[in-house]
Structure 1
Amino acid sequence: MELHEYAALDAVGLRALIRAGEVTAGEVEQVARTALAIAGPELNALTLGPFGTALDHDPDGPLGGVPFVVKDSGPFARRVPFTLGSRAIRGAVALVDHDLMTRFRSAGLVTLGQSTAPELGLSFATEPVATGPTRNPWDPEHGAGGSSGGAAALVAAGAVPLAHANDGAGSIRVPASCCGLVGLKPSRGRTPCGPYAGEVGFGLVVEFALTRTVRDAAALLDAVCAPPVGDKFALPAPTRPYAEELCTDPGRLQVALTTTAWSGVPVDAEVAAVTTTVGQTLEWLGHTVSEATPGLDPDAIVEGAVLAAVATGAALLLAPVRPDRSRLAAVSRQVLAETESFTVLDVQRAADAQHRVTRPVGLFLNRYDLLVTPTLGRLPARHGTLDYDNPHHTVRSWLRRLFEYGPFTAPFNISGHPAISLPLGQSRTGLPIGVQLVAGRGREDLLLRVAAQLEQAVPWAGRRPAVVVDGG
């Protein structure tokens, strides 16, 4: 297999070639190693790897032989070190597999490396002091988004067809938008968060992946979405495979569309225009589209998101070996300081704020089948736009800064609804623009049906970033 052939295929395509005997899994792995060795340094997207030996996996799994990387947001894969993107965390190694990692292994994914992430995963820009900025394959002067920025850069450049990612306020969807990818954040309880936690970030954090195609998102979700055992939140299994939803007519849907941020921050005109065009495309596909938006309190969104930051701080404070605070970035130090002063009353106040977000979202999605918004409010930011080492930030002011850049994603972490970012447009300068679709709790099936419609109506497979690992 040639490098350009490998880089052009998604996971489902690669697996089909392996099953047909047209290429061996070993040959695919060797090409993937070459691709990672090129893209990792060029994009500054790997913290570890390519590994000398791939992590154990089932070669006969539904995605057996498909190359993969995990994110440095550990502990995730047994015996693999992690740093959470920080110079202050040394010697940390996962003792057991995350439950989702167990499912990735059973699916047959060939894990070959670990992707970069911002410190503590608390930024929409992947540019920690520990590793420096991860570069966007579409324009290396711009960021890849965060917190799953390394994963997004590697998938967009063709180094791997899909990669592990997680999302506590937009960390799958934001890098998907920045790098021209499909970023599905499943419903709360659709994928596991054990074995050591029944929920992560007070339920805001969801684990899954970044892909280039809708069918890869469906195939991977089929492989890993069995109801979590013992987790605090667990949805029942889907009634049929998600892969079958891609060919299922969603019917005539009631779709709400907004390009106005709940906080009132300005939205880039090109981003708004792409979102409006997507609404027109949905009308052409037979859906009824109306301008409407849930009435959300922007202060409640910030207060609700504070719990995810505090949960991260608590995990560090309770760790067997605490981080060296002198080597943490300024916002991380502030997170620890505010976590130490957080009280039960503060937790209750934040939980009440979450209810003020969850209830209007739930009521709104009882009236409409889908909500369509921009994913980001702006084009992918240049490096340094989000300054995580700014000592003047409190946790709340930092969250407000993030939500100026990405105002549309966090409410659905708080509410637990599934959301997907699709690469449905480009700026005049060629930067990707993502559009977010949100559905009712547990309705990944509906999201995938409509995403498949849009992928066919507004195909993105032919777009190529400036940096692509194809041997050209």
Structure 2
Amino acid sequence: MPDRIHAFTDDVLGDLDAVGLAAALRAGDLSPREAAEAASARFDALTELHPVAFDDRDRGVKRAVDAPWRTDAPFAGVPTYIKNNTAFAGIPTRHGSAATPRRAELANEPFTEQFLSTGVNVLGASTLPAFGLTATTEFDDGPPTRNPWNPEYSCGASSGGSAVLVASGAVPIAHANDGGGSIRIPAAACGLVGLKPTRDRLVKAAQAQGMPVDLISNGVVTRTVRDTAHFLAAAERHRPTTRMPFLGLVEGPSERRLRVGLIDTPITGNRLDVDTARALDETVELLTDLGHDVIPVPLPVDRSFIGHFTHYWSMLAFAISRNGKKMFGTAFEPAELDPFTSGLARGFLRNAWRTPGAIAALSRSAKRYHRAFTQVDVICSPTLAHTTPRIGYLDPAGDFEQIFDRLVHYVAFTPLNNASGGPAISLPLAQSSEGLPIGIHFSADHADERTLLELAYELEAAEPFTRIQD
């Protein structure tokens, strides 16, 4: 395989981002059908990466011809994909697992309506690992979704298929959601912008209904900061939240200089690898050169957070294994669960007595997270504790205890934002010695996506993101 696989070419999509493509569509430079057909052709060049769980291009092209595209929708006619854990009428929601029913959905879930309100045209469903429970898009019963920067490496997860489709140029924007880092991790692995919004900024994910602590936030992965900002503003207009101030469209950097808290040690206590430490140092230098004040800060939570979060995570796997027929339909087959999900479920059963304490501790994390911003405006860290691993390092069919330990040490920075509900963004500000993207992670207080986006605009301008086609 070549080192990089991408589909950027001299077609009607060019290297336009979603905002640029939407402007071209409004101007009549191309039609929604031409955009859909070009994205379809690009996907055909990426089949060895396996980013799509359900190919719905025929309906997407037909929709591009027949649909009365709203001229006021910012992404009217822009082709995209929806993550295959979110109900879209006509597509089976398989959650990355052979255990789930194959029946097509009869209706969209509420977030899907919010996603579609931006004007995007869905061409299919993107891959995710089984139930989004791990940080690589690999399977025990099929080929992995591969990283377009180097297909021997993981693309991250759980929104791995979406990240691959955007990074490789098939589409400029794709749906993602995040229950422990699942927007930010694949964004970091694939060189994209990945914003996890504040809890309840966007419509709640259907699978989060009834969870004692809602970990999941919907969003997108993009190649530019402005695409993420425009999506968030458009989605917010569809259903303004009553729980926080209206955000609106953030269109560029601010003149305000920030107090940036620096966390350079994972919660596990392990040291960063050389490439990740260098990337963080370079980001600190860039922030300082831009006039921001960077100071070390302690972690908002102590190491007991690891046990609480991993126990809750295991509880979700146990709920799937025991209640799958209620959750996914009577055709759910527990015997088809992958080894990693089954291993998590067994771990929960051995320690079920810890559940009330874990839920209480995760619920308290929101206040501890909020207090971390009394002295700083944002907190900076790596997105991940080490560079992107090769395919197989987090193999869901591997030895469970080894894979689980590797996963905990790899995903050491992102879960706090899910437990606390705080917003965070991963930006592709560096590369490893092997030419793979490295994400840098910025967190802000609840409802303060504006500060994150303004800073992201500034960093993107000062250190333009490396493109896969360069």
Kept after mapping to 2: 8 A contact 1:274/1:433: yes
Q: Give, as a single letter, the amino acid of the residue that structure 1 aligns with 2:249.
A: Y
Matching residue's letter, 1:207: N
State the match for 2:69 in structure 1: 59
What's the counterpart of residue 329 of structure 1? 338
Q: Check whether the contact 1:169–1:305 (CA below 8 A) recurs between aligned residues.
A: no
* SS of equivalent residue, structure 1 residue 267: coil
**What's the counterpart of residue 108 of structure 1?**
119
1:122 to 133, 136, 152: 133
Could you say which residue in structure 1 is the equivalent of 2:231? 220
State percent identity of aligned pairs: 33
**In 2, distance between residues paired with 1:194 and 1:173?**
17
Which one is further off, 159-168 or 286-295? 286-295
- 1:356 deviates by 5.3
Q: Does 1:68 align with 2:43?
A: no
Is the Cα contact below 8 Å between 2:81 and 2:174 reproduced in 1? yes
Deviates more, 1:281-290 or 1:160-169: 281-290
Q: Are the equivalent residues in 2 in contact too, given 1:190–1:226 (CA < 8 A)?
A: no
Contact preservation (8 Å) 1:37, 1:50:
no
> What is the distance in 2 between the residues matched to 1:142 and 1:159?
19
Q: Determine whether 1:22 maps to 2:29.
A: yes
Alpha-carbon distance change, 399 to 166 in structure 1, aligned in 2, over 3 angstroms = farther
* Preserved CA contact (<8 Å) 2:137 2:158: yes
Describe the superposition over 1:341-365 as per-residue Cα deviations: whole angstroms up to 9, x where unpaired: 776x643211222145433322112
Q: Is the 8 A contact 1:165 1:209 kept in 2?
A: yes
After TM superposition, the structure 1 = structure 2 runs for residues 28-39 of structure 1, keeping only pairs within 5 Å, are: 28-39=35-46
* Change in 2 beyond 3 A, CA 1:322/1:49: closer
Correspondences of 1:66-105 after superposition (within 5 Å):
66-74=78-86, 76-105=87-116
**CA gap 1:204/1:296 in 2 versus in 1, 3 angstroms:** same
Residues 1:365 and 1:305: Cα distance change in structure 2 (over 3 Å): farther
Aligned-partner Cα distance in 1 for 2:12–2:438? 26
Give me the whole-angstrom Cα distance separating, in 1, the residues matched to 2:419 and 2:139.
Answer: 26
Q: Which runs of 5+ in 1 are unaligned?
A: 467-472
- Using the alignment, how far apart are the partners of 1:226 and 1:198 within structure 2? 23
Letter in 1 for 2:468: R
In structure 2, C-alpha distance between the alignment counterparts of 1:234 and 1:403, rounded to whole Å:
35
Encode CA deviations 1:248-273: one digit per residue, 9 max, x unaligned: 33x12111112211211231111111
Contact residue 68 and residue 112 of structure 1 kept, 8 A: yes
User: Which of 379, 396, 402 is residue 388 of structure 1 equivalent to?
Assistant: 396
SS of equivalent to 2:372: helix
Distance in 2 between the 1:96 and 1:201 partners? Answer: 26
- Is the Cα–Cα contact under 8 Å of residues 114 and 239 in structure 2 kept in the other structure? no
CA RMSD of aligned residues (A): 2.5
Please say which of residues 219-228 and 24-33 is displaced more in the overlay. Answer: 219-228
Q: Contact 2:427 / 2:456 at 8 angstroms: preserved in 1?
A: yes
Give the equivalent residue in structure 2 for 1:49: 55
1:190-249 Cα offsets, whole Å, 9 max, x none, are: 1112567546572111111100000000011111125869xxx9633525x2233x2433
Find the residue that maps to 1:373 and give its secondary structure: strand
Report matched runs for 1:227-376 at 5 Å: 235-239=243-247, 241-244=248-251, 246-249=252-255, 251-315=256-320, 317=323, 318-319=326-327, 320-321=329-330, 323-337=332-346, 346-355=354-363, 357-376=365-384
Q: CA deviation at 1:438?
A: 0.3
Contact 1:222 1:242 in 2 (8 A): yes
8 Å CA contact 1:177, 1:375 repeated in 2? yes
C-alpha distance in 2 between matches for 1:5 and 1:266:
46
Q: Deviations over 1:102-144 (max 9, x none)?
A: 0222211010011111111111010112432111111011010
The question of 1:439 aligning with 2:444 is answered: yes
Confirm whether residue 156 of structure 1 aligns to residue 177 of structure 2: no
Query: Using the alignment, how far apart are the partners of 1:257 and 1:166 within structure 2?
Result: 26
1:227/1:235 contact within 8 Å kept: no
Maintained 8 Å contact 2:317/2:342: no
Q: 2:211, 2:249 → 1: CA distance?
A: 25
Given the two structures, how large is their TM-score scaled by the length of structure 2? 0.89
